[in-house]
Structure 1
Amino acid sequence: MSAIVVAARGWLGTPYVHQASCRGAGCDCLGLLRGVWREVLGQEPEVVPAYTADWSEASGQERLWQAAWRHLRPKDLAAAAPGDVILFRMRDGGVAKHLGLQAEIGDGASFIHAYSGHGVVESALTPPWARRIVARFAFPEGI
């Protein structure tokens, strides 16, 4: 099993807290990714500035996507693998402002994410979720 998936599953049940990244105490979707990064790779590659829950949607800036390009390896959307980081556009015309970590692929595809009102959960990658995926990334080489 992917070290990324094992680490992410360790965060299941963590409450949702905007901008937080503390396993068991609270995190948002980016905080989950940051925490898994620290557990698997060590120090985070950059300091994350404060951000709003809308992820610059009003300005149209793809801040989350740009950060993923700086630190992760882009992948073809169809090349799903456990441990991938997947970015979601929650509405047509909006910016990508949610992310998750692919846990399972195939018929039982699932992903782990921190979701407002639910905390960190593993969700089935159902068609309504899958159609919102706009980018797929892998962690840097060596894990």
Structure 2
Amino acid sequence: MAETDRATARTLDPAAVADAARGWIGTPYRHQASALGLGADCLGVVRGVWRELIGPEPEPPPPYARSWAEDGAGELMLDAARRWLVPVPAGAIEAGDVLLFRVARDRVAKHCGIATGPRTMVHAYDGHAVAETAIPDIWLTRLVARFRFPAGV
């Protein structure tokens, strides 16, 4: 789908996306995993919600080390989001938004979550099971992009 087509594409119901994301709560953290109840990292949750609501993933993620962003791999996560998700213009976070964050300033986007409200998200991070948490102010300053799931591919 062309970039201009994605910008005007229909998107999935935000409540359905938030509910699907909440279904991952309690899944243990496992680097590179995307298996409901068995293990997932932050990207794994987004991938799992895609599979549940849309179908097979459009492309497999490349293998990635925990330090991939620091190793100079580039904007892999942001570029993939731009290829497959619908961009959201600047504004308030809404339920169903896929949020991409820079963990450190001037670094690539390395963390993601799915908004369940204007200040809450479901995400996974090292050492913690998938959880729904508040989005702290510091994360809002590192939010690099928002997207929504397309209604179809």
**TM-score, normalised on structure 2?**
0.85
Residue 74 of structure 1 pairs with residue 74 of structure 2: no
| Total equivalences in the alignment | 139
2-side partners of 1:137 and 1:30: how far apart? 14
Residue type at the aligned position of 1:133: L
What are structure 1's unaligned runs of at least 5 residues?
none
- Secondary structure of 1:123's counterpart equals strand
Q: What whole-Å deviation, never above 9, does each CA across 1:100-138 have from its counterpart, x for those lacking one?
A: 001012xxx201101111120111012122111111111
Aligned to 1:128: 138
2-side partners of 1:26 and 1:19: how far apart? 9
Residue type at the aligned position of 1:59: G
- Secondary structure of 1:86's counterpart equals strand
Residue type at the aligned position of 2:47: R
Residue 83 of structure 1 pairs with residue 93 of structure 2: no
Query: Pairwise CA RMSD of aligned residues?
Result: 1.4
Offset of 1:71 from its aligned partner? 0.2
Aligned to 1:46: 59
Offset of 1:58 from its aligned partner? 2.6
* Equivalent position to 1:101, from 95, 114, 129: 114
Structure 1 segments of 4+ aligned residues over 4 angstroms from their partners: none
**Bigger shift: 53-62 or 20-29?**
53-62
Structure scoring higher RCO (CA < 8 A, sep ≥ 6) equals 2
- Asked whether the 8 Å contact 2:100–2:144 carries over to 1, the reply is yes
2-side partners of 1:74 and 1:92: how far apart? 22
**Bigger shift: 13-22 or 75-84?**
75-84
- Asked whether the 8 Å contact 1:5–1:102 carries over to 2, the reply is yes
Residue type at the aligned position of 1:31: G
Using the aligned pairs only, state the percent identity: 50
- Secondary structure of 1:2's counterpart equals helix
Offset of 1:55 from its aligned partner? 3.0
